[in-house]
């Protein structure tokens, strides 16, 4: 079984679904929070020891490095350990001089965005073979649509399909190709979408005289997923987070949200107020859960009543255990609690507490 990477935002959209060997397409609107989201993902990945390269088309390396430092990332430390580098295809298109600081991706960084020359360089490298240190990276673009300023649509699509995607497979990358929407033909986007493993949309909508930001997973090949829009907010240090519990985890039913909220408060009560260890905090039996959310005790034992609990377990936000040495209604006692050991749940709990 392929092991998923624990990534900010993405793991909340589809827990455990994003892994090395995937090519993903992010389509974002001009006023959306993709830039902030991409750097939030980068910062979180580095802190978890995931090798990450950030591909620049419309931002300077110094800007990205500064933002990551504001997010609490010791950029130089990760560069020295070989965990972070920048692929700079922005500076060569401007009068700016490339900075000596930091580490750059060795194959394409520092070149003008020319799909033809890139393809030639990549093919030569693929023939020679990639070193082990070039494999298993998270690759994130700021806006690859800039390529269309230097090559026509058909040329980019051909090179991407025949060279860039195979190169990502050869290196075992998890790639987030990001495209600004509305700057190319519908056919261009469709051709790009046809060969990727996942499609992520990032948009902005004016609601009540305010601009609200949303993200969703539109496509995920070979897996079930929730395609609903999730609201995202900008927090301190330009970091992006999915907002409320329902929007963060995409609960399909009111029952699932009620159970999660009850288990969340139970964990906080045990761990923070009663000072119990985290691993033993928050466990509640089905009877206690029924009482806590105000339903009949028999409800959670029915097929319909147990559906919200199955949804919570399936999404990975709640864990369940069966006590073999205790007997309850219809068999052994079943207890549940929030899956606090999972980073995306722990982060939500910590924000809730704050």
Q: What is the CATH number of the domain that holds 191?
A: 3.40.50.300
Are 230 and 318 within one domain?
no
User: For residue 15, what pLDDT is reported?
Assistant: 79
Positions of the chain with pLDDT under 70: 1, 98-101, 243-248, 250, 324-332, 351-354
Count how many domains the chain has.
2
If residue 245 lies in a helix (H) or strand (E), which one and from where to where?
Answer: helix 245-249
Q: Which residues contact 312 (CB under 8 A, 6 or more apart)?
A: 251, 256, 259, 260, 318, 336
Whether 71 is in a domain gets the answer yes
Domain that holds residue 111: 10-243
Place of tokens 């924000």: 351
pTM equals: 0.71
Q: Which of 211, 243, 275 is the last residue of a domain?
A: 243
Same domain, 333 and 218: no
Identify whether 160 is part of a domain: yes
For position 101, what pLDDT does the model report? Answer: 66
The single residue listed with the structure tokens 């029915």 is 302
249 domain-assigned: no
Write out pLDDT tens, residues 8-40. Answer: 899 878 878 999 999 999 999 999 999 999 999
Q: What is the pLDDT of residue 99?
A: 61
pLDDT, residue 45, reads 95
In a domain, 266, yes or no: yes
State the pLDDT at residue 70.
93
**Are 219 and 288 in a shared domain?**
no
The whole-number pLDDT of residue 296 equals 83
Please give the DSSP secondary-structure letter assigned to residue 4.
P
Residue 311 lies in a domain: yes
261 with 217, same domain: the answer is no
pLDDT at position 21: 94
CATH of the domain at 332: 1.10.10
* pLDDT per residue as tens digits for the range 34-77: 999 999 999 999 999 999 999 999 999 999 999 999 999 999 99
Q: How far is CA 254 from the centre of its chain?
A: 25
Q: Which residues make Cβ contacts (< 8 Å) with residue 341, sequence separation at least 6?
A: 278, 279
State the Cα–Cα distance between residues 28 and 204, nearest whole angstrom.
Answer: 9
Let me know whether 239 and 316 are in one domain.
no
pLDDT value at residue 326 = 54
Which pLDDT belongs to residue 324? 59
According to DSSP H, which parts of 186-227 are helical?
Answer: 186-193
1 located within any domain: no
Q: What is the pLDDT of residues 84-99, one digit of tens each?
A: 999 999 999 998 876 6
- 8 A C-beta contact, residue 244 and residue 226: no
Q: Is residue 135 domain-resident?
A: yes
């Amino acid at each position: 079984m392929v092991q998923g990477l624990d990534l900010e935002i993405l793991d909340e959209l589809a827990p455990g679904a994003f892994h090395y060997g995937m090519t993903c397409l992010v389509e974002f609107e001009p006023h959306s929070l993709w830039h902030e989201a991409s750097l939030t993902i980068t910062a979180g990945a580095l802190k978890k020891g995931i090798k990450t390269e950030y591909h620049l088309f419309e931002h300077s390396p110094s800007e990205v490095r500064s933002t990551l430092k504001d997010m609490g990332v010791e950029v130089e430390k990760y560069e020295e350990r070989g965990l972070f580098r920048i692929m700079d295809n922005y500076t060569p298109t401007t009068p700016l001089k490339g900075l000596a600081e930091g580490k750059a991706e060795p194959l394409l960084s520092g070149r003008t965005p020319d799909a033809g020359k890139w393809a030639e360089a990549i093919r030569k490298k693929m023939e020679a073979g990639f070193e082990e240190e070039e494999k298993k990276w998270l690759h994130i673009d700021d806006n690859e649509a800039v390529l269309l300023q230097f090559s026509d649509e058909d040329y980019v699509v051909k090179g991407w399909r025949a060279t860039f995607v195979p190169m990502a497979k050869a290196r075992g990358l998890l790639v987030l190709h990001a495209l600004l929407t509305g700057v190319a033909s519908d056919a261009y986007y469709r051709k790009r979408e046809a060969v990727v493993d996942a499609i992520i949309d990032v948009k902005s909508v004016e609601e009540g005289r305010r601009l609200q930001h949303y993200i969703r997973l539109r496509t995920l090949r070979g897996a079930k997923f929730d395609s609903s829009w999730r609201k995202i907010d900008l927090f301190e240090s330009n970091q992006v987070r999915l907002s409320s519990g329902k929007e963060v985890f995409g609960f399909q039913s009111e029952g699932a949200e009620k159970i999660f909220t009850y288990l969340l408060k139970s964990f906080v009560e045990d761990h923070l107020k009663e000072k119990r260890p985290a691993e033993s905090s928050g466990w509640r039996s089905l009877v206690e859960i029924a009482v806590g959310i105000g339903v009949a005790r028999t409800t959670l034992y029915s097929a319909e009543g147990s559906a919200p609990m199955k949804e919570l377990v399936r999404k990975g936000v709640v864990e369940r255990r069966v006590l073999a040495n205790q007997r309850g209604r219809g068999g052994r006692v079943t207890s549940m609690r929030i899956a606090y050991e999972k980073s995306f749940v722990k982060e939500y709990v910590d924000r809730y507490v704050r």
